[in-house]
Amino acid sequence: MAYYYSEVARTFSEYLLIPNLTRKDCVPSNVSLKTPIVKFKKGEEPSLKINIPFVSAIMQSVSDNNLAVALAKCGGLSFVFGSQSIETQAEMIRKVKKFKAGFVMSDANLSPENTLKDVLQLKEKTDHSTIAITEDGSPRAKLMGIVTSRDYRISRDSVDKKIKDFMTPFSKLIVGKANTTLSEANDIIWGHKLNCLPIIDDNQNLLYFVFRKDYDEHKQNPYEILDSQKRLLVGAGINSRDYKERVPELVKAGADILCVDSSDGFSEWQGETIKYIKETYNGTVKVGGGNVVDKEGFLYLVESGADFVKVGIGGGSICITREQKGIGRGQASSLIEVAQARDEYFNRTGIYIPICSDGGIVYDYHMVLALAMGADFIMMGRYFARFDESPSPKVKVGNNYVKEYWGEGSNRARNWQRYDMGEGDKLKFEEGVDSYVPYAGKLRDNLDITLGKIKSTMCSCGAISIQELQKTARITLVSSTSIVEGGAHDVMLKDNNL
């Protein structure tokens, strides 16, 4: 007969945190939110960490290269959505990897014989205002000069004017040599009040640019996550259908970590996908799996080779999998069981598998509950879809601005691969809706408030790290009446807009 769980499936709103002693060192400035996102052995350091426990959902309306850059600068990670062509997804990854680096290989290049029209077209295509002028227009050829917006006036200069007639020639450039360090390059930039410094070899061939803005941005973003080449970290979503073609291109483009995106990850298709990636790349390419809601699903993905496991089915604000198929589980119950399985696996093998809580977040305090219940990091869609940096359109509905937000299981996304059951190549029914979320402005402004709440709550729980929170947190179930009691009640609220 069927197996029946005796416990009710519960979600975050049914729990509250009980305060622990707030020690004198428990102040927000002492709280570290650094967390691992890939598996590691006891006593060793994980190869990939993020500085805040947030990753953005693998969704068309959430995670493109613009949000990936903004989130990585703040310490989190984006998984660029995979429900697009291999070529366009790989290009998004390349854009993130090129955005921030100490030494930037020029990807905006022309020759002296090109025209102002070519400059304007290239600027429109790449969004770069500094263009390297090399002998033959290739990125590693002999540097002849540079062109910036200060070298021409669109209102007066003919678009047919040759670049050699208005560029800043090499003889007037200050340049660095091949052995120039990043620190030395920045000193030259500041000492000569430059916006950029070309780095050349002994034959005057262009090697790299170093930009003033990169130095400034690094100082303004102390938590940004960078690879060994000082490029922003970025992840990518994949599916269990075209992974043999997609993964090589994403790896070539520079993706730091992959995640198999599926509403139900407890499947042989996902197991085969993960095994193939781990075997093909000898474990060097990091890949997570999911989604699962119990111990059995967790262990299946771990034994397949997953570097992290994503938890949650049907808890997303635009997800209707539970309604359509009747499968899923309350997010808190799912997380508690999988976290227990993760800890048992660690005690048995000495290998720690990070888990990601995906779905069910309504309020900021739910994020702390998710971490306290065992999540190493949290994946969110609705939260990030509200910001300027997300790819979804901003529209005005009534007197309010909103942003469009649609599920990967909706007809709009047509991401049938995410819900693939091994037959056919189309979406048979919807498991997601098309909706709006309130427009909230810039990511950083909102994220600062959220992180402030999380750190304050952790201090009240007597914890200054996620690991300490998971060991010492005290959590209680609450009644429906006490939930009402927790908000403003029995008063007449003032209308602050009057």
Catalytic entry in 259, 329, 418, 459: 418
Which tens digit of pLDDT belongs to each residue from 154-173? Answer: 888 899 999 999 999 999 99
Residue type, 84: Q
Please tell me the predicted confidence (pLDDT) of residue 314. Answer: 82
d(CA 387, CA 368): 21
pLDDT at 456: 97
CA distance 18 to 4: 31
Residues 467-476 pLDDT 10s: 999 999 999 9
Selection from 270, 352, 357, 268 nearest residue 307 by Cα: 352
For the entire predicted model, the pTM comes to 0.80
pLDDT in tens, 216-263: 666 778 899 999 888 899 999 999 999 999 999 999 999 999 999 998
Structure confidence at residue 322 (pLDDT): 74
pLDDT(491) > 60: yes
Q: What is the mean pLDDT of residues 78-85?
A: 95
In this prediction, residue 430 carries a pLDDT of 63
Give the model's pLDDT for residue 493. Answer: 78
* pLDDT value at residue 420: 57
Q: What are phi and psi of 431, to 5 degrees?
A: -120, 15
Please tell me which residue in 196, 319, 459, 461 is annotated as part of the active site. Answer: 319
What local confidence, expressed as pLDDT, does residue 34 receive? 98
- The secondary structure element, H or E, covering residue 260 is strand 257-260
Mean predicted confidence (pLDDT) in 432-454: 92
Nearest one of 192, 198, 191, 149 to 170, comparing CA atoms: 198
Token reading at 16 = 């509250």
Question: Phi and psi for 83 in degrees, rounded to 5?
Answer: -85, 60
Average pLDDT, the chain: 91
Alpha carbon 485 to its chain centroid, in Å, reads 36
Tell me the C-alpha to C-alpha distance, in Å, between residue 407 and each of 25, 61, 415, 420, 427: 42, 8, 9, 15, 13
Better-scored residue on pLDDT, 412 or 234: 234
Instruction: Name which of 284-298, 310-324, 405-419 the model is least confident about.
Output: 405-419
Q: Is 418 a catalytic residue?
A: yes
Tokens standing for residue 334: 């799912």
Tens-digit pLDDT profile for residues 92-132: 999 999 875 577 888 899 999 999 999 999 988 887 889 99
Q: What is the DSSP letter of 486?
A: T
pLDDT grade, residue 435 (50/70/90)? Answer: confident
Strand, helix or coil for residue 365: helix
Distance CA 448, CA 168 (A): 42
Strands (E), 113-184: 131-134, 143-147, 168-169, 176-177
pLDDT at position 75 is: 97
pLDDT of residue 230: 82
Residues 160/117, Cβ–Cβ less than 8 Å: yes
Return the pLDDT at 424.
56
List, for residues 37-76, the tens digit of each pLDDT value: 999 999 999 999 999 999 999 999 999 999 999 999 999 9
Q: In this predicted structure, what is the pLDDT of residue 421?
A: 57
Phi, psi dihedral angles at 377 (to 5 degrees): -155, 170
Q: What is the DSSP letter of 231?
A: P
Residue type, 38: V
- Which H helix or E strand runs over 454? helix 443-460
Strand partners, 404: 436
- Higher pLDDT: 322 or 255? It is 255
CB 247 within 8 A of CB 285: yes
- Give, in degrees to the nearest 5, the angle at Cα 208 between 202 and 213: 135
Strands 176-177 and 196-200: parallel
- Alpha-carbon distance of 30 to 1, in angstroms, equals 53
Please give the Cα distance from 422 to 265 (Å, whole number): 13
Nearest-angstrom CA–CA distance, 465 and 53: 11
Q: Tell me how far the alpha carbon of residue 139 is from its chain's centroid.
A: 29
The pLDDT of residue 319 is: 76
Under the banding of pLDDT at 50, 70 and 90, the label for residue 90 is very high
| Residue 433 token pair | 């809706």
Residue indicated by tokens 């995906």: 358
Query: Which residue type occupies 209?
Result: F
* Dist CA 370 CA 473 (whole Å): 11
pLDDT at 333 > cutoff 60: yes
When comparing pLDDT for 217 and 418, which is higher? 217
Ramachandran assignment for 490, one of left (phi > 0), alpha (psi -120 to 50 degrees), beta (any other): left
d(CA 201, CA 390): 40
Residue 146 contacts residue 106 (beta carbons within 8 Å): no
Q: pLDDT for 349-390, tens place per residue?
A: 999 999 999 999 999 999 999 999 999 999 999 999 999 999
Q: What is the pLDDT of residue 106?
A: 86
Please compute Rg for the chain using Cα positions: 25
